[in-house]
Structure 1
Amino acid sequence: LKGFSLNNDVQLGQEGNLVGDPTEIALLSFSEKMGFEKADTEKQHPRVMELPFDSERKMMTTLHKEGNQYIAFTKGGVDQIIERSTAMLTDDGIREIDPERILSANAEIARKGQRVLGLAMKRLTALPEKPEELENELIFVGLAGMIDPPRKEAYDAVRLCKKAGIRPVMITGDHPLTAEVIAKRLGIIESEQDIVTTGRQLREIPEEELKEKVEHIRVYARVAPEQKLRIVKALQGRGEFVAMTGDGVNDAPALKRADIGIAMGITGTDVSREAAHMVLLDDNFATIVKAIREGRKIYDNIRKFIRYLLTTNSGEVWTLFLAPFLGLPVPLLPIHILWINLMTDSLPALALSLEPEEKGIMERPPRRPGEGIFSRGLGFDALWVGLFMAGLVLFTEVWSIGKGHEHWQTMVFTVMCLTQLGNVLAIRSEEESFFRLGVFSNPALLGAVVVSFILQMAVVYIPYLNPIFKTAPLTAGEIGFCVFLSSLVFVAVELKKLLSRLMKRKATR
């Protein structure tokens, strides 16, 4: 405990709290509870030299003054410290090291899911000529097991990842038994096909064999940071889209190579943050899952926005393009088109960006990286919905002229506006019904539709605006006809979604 207290870089914060690495805070807290105050031990044994921890050595050493001599304490990975030790401290004094006895105790602690650190010491009569000499011919002192439970939200995060078609893989420097226990608790390992491998085993696997095995490896234990790059390449070699987290300097190549490199904002180094594509400010895995959920919602809303603008604008284009071929007069005046673009293409389109996430958003598989924005029928919808809208508008023109309505152009103008409002309500989801989503689930969109409808009625019925927009008041029968005909776009899109859902259910049976 004195060794763990001295071999420790934790500092006392301004508010009296301990500041530093969580593992070292745990070790120091326990040491102080057992009577080894850091301030007192450092006063008795002032630090003279330090060999900081690095991922290659997997250990840290501090040298302290002890009277006229010196004492060094080394803490780190149990395997690494055993390799550098020649003796061990027992109840009977210093004896020749027994690696099997130590490793057996290490495995017993690791099976409980605890993180294990080893501690060794070395006495010197003089300062070493080379600092590296401090970590040779050590006396193994003991082991410390620490419970490092996953955060509560991590369990739900892993479960959501699996539902969303994302395969979580654990890469850790911990003992393989510790890593396996934690992975099973989290649900990362669920079957006998899920493999745990170590960095040492990874070095012995040929590249081609790794490409075959990497799909089933769920846990990499005792892995060096440079091996992360090899793991990323193997996954990408199988066509996987890889997101990699990291915080150290040596993680930078893997973060750079990954499709999405995620650096830790709190514990991450500047080098890792520079190499990464994004920085996780709270170092919490669950935040990554929240970002995936938010990203899917944003992408869905972008598609809805594009779908709406393409369908409505293509409806206008088809209307103006086909009318002359059918021998009809110009259906819409320039000011009508400007008004439509100003009102129905602005407020409802912007309100689509506030659409809440759809049900089951984290239960669908990830989209392919090369998938275009017009995939999954968006381009086809823009074509057929636009043509259908144009057909309704042109039918209105033909019917109203044939019936001798003097205000046929006002009717055409109104139908064009209202079809777009019906369309925006129907495309709130690519598959779910408008009524299942909830009429009031996006109040901003509902408000935009109501405001657009009121403004369109104002253009038709306010005398002051009639000469400006070249409109005239419509009778109750005429406006009823326009509303009925416009609602057919909403009905058609809803029927198309219903057919899509039925075909999907039939395919999954």
Structure 2
Amino acid sequence: MCRADGGSRVAALYFLINWLWNGQGMLESLLASIALIMAILPEEIPVILTVFLALGAWRISQRKVLTRRIPAVEALGAITVLAADKTGTLTENRMQVAELQLQDANFVHAGATTLEEPFHELVEFAMLATPADPFDPMEKAIQQFGLHWLTGTEHVHAEWSPEFEYGLSPDILAMTRVFPAGSSTRHMLATKGAPEAVVDLCHLDSTRARGILDQAGAMAARGLRVLGVARGRWQGESPPRSQHDFDFQFLGLLGFVDPPRAEVPAAIAECRAAGVRIIMLTGDHPATALAIARELGLSERPDVISGAQIDTLDDEALAERLRQVDVCARLQPVQKLRLVHLLRRHGEVVAMTGDGVNDAPALKAADVGIAMGKRGTDVARESASLVLLDDSFSSIVAAIRQGRRIYDNITKATRFVTAVHMPIIALTLIPSLLHWPAMLTSVLIVLLELLIFPACSIVFEAEPEADDIMRRPPRAVEASPFAIGNIVPAAIQGLGASIILLLGYGSMLGLGIDPAHSRTAIFIALVLGLFALVLGNRHPDAPLISGSGMRNRWLWPMLAGVVLVLVLAMGTPYLRDIMGLAVPNPISLGVSAMLLLATFFWLEALRLVLHVGRRTGASLAQGGKP
């Protein structure tokens, strides 16, 4: 708004200068002032933001990531913490029953040919505690395992239907299904859940309970996901309010294996190199979570924090604890929400993955919520900014890479737009103040603003990612393409080019060359100078002419298009006349070439000075020698 207001005042002053100072007609002065407003206002910026983010969302979709909210594309590049769910994101979500554990016997599925009778009851009640046609991968694994080993025995009850169920709750991490057992008052109970929850439901003495939990811990330390199974009987007509009111008999433990995704270790290493911290959030046993984290290379820290421990800490103590651990286990959705809020309050930019209905508040609270596309609920997807179509962690890392690239390219395009507007403003205002013939006519300004500048800006969208894009830390939260550190060097670029072109125009007029040929020479140098400005803002630390230019497939077509516009403008009599140009002669072409060469030298010299300044500043900031 400030720039628009300032532009209006300059345009009004320009109108008065042309009308009262230079003796131009009122209509001609008015049209010239309107053209100046177009030159001052960077109308390419809305185009850049819209097109870059929209195409960025399309590019990210090629990596199996669906964008539901466009601002998330830009936010990806600033992520400092990635809170990742374990199951299905870091692992393949292909659950298989790997082990059975009784009090004094163990069964390993791999290589087994028979399932001995003592294990039948454990598998039978695990199946009864599971829906016959489940959605959850763990429950599917239970049914597949049971049907594989128990089909044809009396332990399979496909025709049984429960009278009622007790679902999982934050207080009791177990579920119980209640079946009729011969009369309206007699019932059979089948329960499965977290080992500690099932042990608690069984009301075991401390010695027996400790033995079971030690067995569960040993299985979890091998990377297995562990469930406890119990059976019970109940007589009555009205079910109690809580599962705790039943009497259960503990049967044993089931251990599930969920293979880590093969691509995850490399993706985690890439995140670490990029300064993105990964925190595992899972509902699994702490030992299971820690074993998987070590296998994936996510963390070598020997510590883990559980949901129960989180509830005992205030925010400051929890924030300090989070600096020491990378694995959070046995979490409830409300605890995930608290962790997200806490991390954000301490200045982190948080991305979080989730799949359940209860994950929705945390997904919405995160800077970038990422829902699972395959196994996620509709509520989770609606709450998220991004949806993983393949539920793969490596897709998140690819999206972060694309987010950084998009922000980099927006920054480059913004720098170019700032630089390129300086010569237009200078070549419009200065000749009027010096009583020179107008350099840029209204038609020329319109041509530049509506055709050439936006086309050149869009070239930056196709700019490939920098080689070090995932070897540098995330950008600061307050970073902006419109920051002073980005705009000022661009403005200096443009001012230097402006001085070169004005000197050329003034010299030609001083030598008695007519305004049309002088204008033609400067216009050719200006339009081709756009190409130099594009090169100068692609890689500030690389020479203008370098092999990296070949990596942008739109760079050379853009140059060809600019040349074609020049040929049409010069070669078509009608266009040439309304633009106030002339057919270029050798003098005009020679002056254009010298001015273009001077522009290249200026941009390269400025680049070297700024490059040395940045390196010196970085060395001093690190306490070293320049």
| TM-score, with length taken from structure 2 | 0.72
Does the CA-based 8 Å contact 1:61-1:135 persist in structure 2?
no
Q: SS at 2:277's partner residue?
A: coil
Kindly state the Cα deviation for residue 361 of structure 1 after the two structures are TM-superposed. Answer: 1.6
Select 1:30's aligned residue among 145, 152, 162: 145
Distance in 1 between the 2:152 and 2:433 partners? 93
Judging changes above 3 Å, is the alpha-carbon distance between structure 1 residues 38 and 394 closer, same or farther for their aligned structure 2 residues?
farther
Kindly state the Cα deviation for residue 131 of structure 1 after the two structures are TM-superposed. Answer: 5.5
Does the CA-based 8 Å contact 1:255-1:262 persist in structure 2?
yes
Kindly state the Cα deviation for residue 385 of structure 1 after the two structures are TM-superposed. Answer: 1.7
Structure 1 counterpart of 2:253:
143
Q: How does 1:367-406 map to 2 (within 5 A)?
A: 367-375=475-483, 377-406=485-514
Select 2:202's aligned residue among 75, 85, 103: 85
Distance in 1 between the 2:445 and 2:153 partners? 77
Determine if the alignment matches structure 1 residue 242 to structure 2 residue 344. no
Distance in 2 between the 1:39 and 1:318 partners? 92
Select 2:321's aligned residue among 201, 213, 218: 213
Paired amino acid for 1:4: A
Select 1:446's aligned residue among 528, 536, 556: 556
Of residues 428-437 and 310-319 in structure 1, the stretch that sits farther from structure 2 once superposed is 428-437
Structure 1 counterpart of 2:164:
49
Kindly state the Cα deviation for residue 73 of structure 1 after the two structures are TM-superposed. Answer: 1.1
Determine if the alignment matches structure 1 residue 178 to structure 2 residue 288. yes
Kindly state the Cα deviation for residue 294 of structure 1 after the two structures are TM-superposed. Answer: 1.8
Determine if the alignment matches structure 1 residue 64 to structure 2 residue 201. no
Q: How does 1:332-411 map to 2 (within 5 A)?
A: 332-375=440-483, 377-406=485-514, 407-411=517-521
Determine if the alignment matches structure 1 residue 231 to structure 2 residue 348. no
Structure 2 counterpart of 1:479:
589
Paired amino acid for 1:219: V
Structure 2 counterpart of 1:493:
603
Distance in 1 between the 2:243 and 2:501 partners? 88
Q: SS at 2:168's partner residue?
A: strand
Judging changes above 3 Å, is the alpha-carbon distance between structure 1 residues 152 and 312 closer, same or farther for their aligned structure 2 residues?
same
Distance in 2 between the 1:470 and 1:269 partners? 64
Distance in 2 between the 1:503 and 1:187 partners? 39
Determine if the alignment matches structure 1 residue 297 to structure 2 residue 412. no
Of residues 126-135 and 256-265 in structure 1, the stretch that sits farther from structure 2 once superposed is 126-135
Kindly state the Cα deviation for residue 435 of structure 1 after the two structures are TM-superposed. Answer: 4.8
Paired amino acid for 1:5: M
Distance in 1 between the 2:577 and 2:152 partners? 89
Identify which of structures 1 and 2 has the higher relative contact order when contacts are C-alpha pairs closer than 8 Å and 6+ apart.
Answer: 2
Judging changes above 3 Å, is the alpha-carbon distance between structure 1 residues 435 and 418 closer, same or farther for their aligned structure 2 residues?
closer
Judging changes above 3 Å, is the alpha-carbon distance between structure 1 residues 236 and 464 closer, same or farther for their aligned structure 2 residues?
closer
Of residues 177-186 and 353-362 in structure 1, the stretch that sits farther from structure 2 once superposed is 353-362
Deviations 1:42-66 (A, max 9, x none): 3464433222334442212222345
Q: SS at 1:47's partner residue?
A: coil
Paired amino acid for 1:78: P
Paired amino acid for 2:199: I
Q: SS at 1:240's partner residue?
A: coil
Does the CA-based 8 Å contact 1:85-1:97 persist in structure 2?
no
Does the CA-based 8 Å contact 1:169-1:219 persist in structure 2?
yes
Q: Structure 2 stretches of 5 or more lacking a match? A: 1-122
Paired amino acid for 1:333: T
Distance in 1 between the 2:141 and 2:488 partners? 60
Distance in 1 between the 2:269 and 2:569 partners? 54
Kindly state the Cα deviation for residue 24 of structure 1 after the two structures are TM-superposed. Answer: 1.3
Structure 1 counterpart of 2:131:
9
Distance in 2 between the 1:38 and 1:50 partners? 25
Structure 2 counterpart of 1:331:
439
Judging changes above 3 Å, is the alpha-carbon distance between structure 1 residues 44 and 342 closer, same or farther for their aligned structure 2 residues?
closer
Paired amino acid for 1:84: L
Kindly state the Cα deviation for residue 199 of structure 1 after the two structures are TM-superposed. Answer: 1.6
Q: SS at 1:405's partner residue?
A: coil
Count of residues paired in the alignment: 493
Distance in 1 between the 2:272 and 2:380 partners? 27
Kindly state the Cα deviation for residue 140 of structure 1 after the two structures are TM-superposed. Answer: 0.9
Does the CA-based 8 Å contact 1:171-1:221 persist in structure 2?
yes
Q: SS at 2:371's partner residue?
A: strand
Does the CA-based 8 Å contact 2:532-2:544 persist in structure 1?
no
Q: Structure 1 stretches of 5 or more lacking a match? A: 12-18, 89-95
Deviations 1:178-229 (A, max 9, x none): 111111222221346xx41112222222332222222222111112221223
Paired amino acid for 2:126: F
Judging changes above 3 Å, is the alpha-carbon distance between structure 1 residues 419 and 135 closer, same or farther for their aligned structure 2 residues?
farther
Does the CA-based 8 Å contact 1:356-1:441 persist in structure 2?
yes
Q: SS at 1:449's partner residue?
A: helix
Deviations 1:404-427 (A, max 9, x none): 333111112212211112212322
Does the CA-based 8 Å contact 1:115-1:147 persist in structure 2?
yes
Judging changes above 3 Å, is the alpha-carbon distance between structure 1 residues 249 and 243 closer, same or farther for their aligned structure 2 residues?
same
Q: SS at 1:140's partner residue?
A: strand
Structure 1 counterpart of 2:83:
none
Paired amino acid for 1:48: E
Structure 1 counterpart of 2:428:
320
The share of aligned pairs that are identical, in percent, is 32
Distance in 1 between the 2:583 and 2:161 partners? 94
Paired amino acid for 1:409: R
Does the CA-based 8 Å contact 2:228-2:253 persist in structure 1?
yes
Does the CA-based 8 Å contact 1:72-1:134 persist in structure 2?
no
Structure 2 counterpart of 1:92:
none
Structure 1 counterpart of 2:213:
103
Deviations 1:259-313 (A, max 9, x none): 3333334433444444444444443333222222222222222222222222212
Judging changes above 3 Å, is the alpha-carbon distance between structure 1 residues 233 and 38 closer, same or farther for their aligned structure 2 residues?
farther
Judging changes above 3 Å, is the alpha-carbon distance between structure 1 residues 307 and 147 closer, same or farther for their aligned structure 2 residues?
same
Kindly state the Cα deviation for residue 456 of structure 1 after the two structures are TM-superposed. Answer: 0.6
Does the CA-based 8 Å contact 1:2-1:36 persist in structure 2?
no
Q: SS at 1:473's partner residue?
A: coil
Distance in 2 between the 1:464 and 1:477 partners? 23
Paired amino acid for 2:475: R
Structure 2 counterpart of 1:164:
274
Select 2:224's aligned residue among 75, 99, 114: 114
Does the CA-based 8 Å contact 2:301-2:325 persist in structure 1?
no
Judging changes above 3 Å, is the alpha-carbon distance between structure 1 residues 70 and 485 closer, same or farther for their aligned structure 2 residues?
same
Kindly state the Cα deviation for residue 172 of structure 1 after the two structures are TM-superposed. Answer: 1.1
Distance in 2 between the 1:359 and 1:39 partners? 64
Determine if the alignment matches structure 1 residue 76 to structure 2 residue 193. yes
Q: How does 1:186-201 map to 2 (within 5 A)?
A: 186-191=296-301, 195-201=303-309
Does the CA-based 8 Å contact 2:462-2:553 persist in structure 1?
no
Distance in 2 between the 1:316 and 1:37 partners? 86
Of residues 129-138 and 338-347 in structure 1, the stretch that sits farther from structure 2 once superposed is 129-138
Determine if the alignment matches structure 1 residue 421 to structure 2 residue 531. yes
Judging changes above 3 Å, is the alpha-carbon distance between structure 1 residues 384 and 37 closer, same or farther for their aligned structure 2 residues?
farther
Paired amino acid for 1:316: I
Q: How does 1:459-478 map to 2 (within 5 A)?
A: 459-463=569-573, 465-476=575-586, 478=588
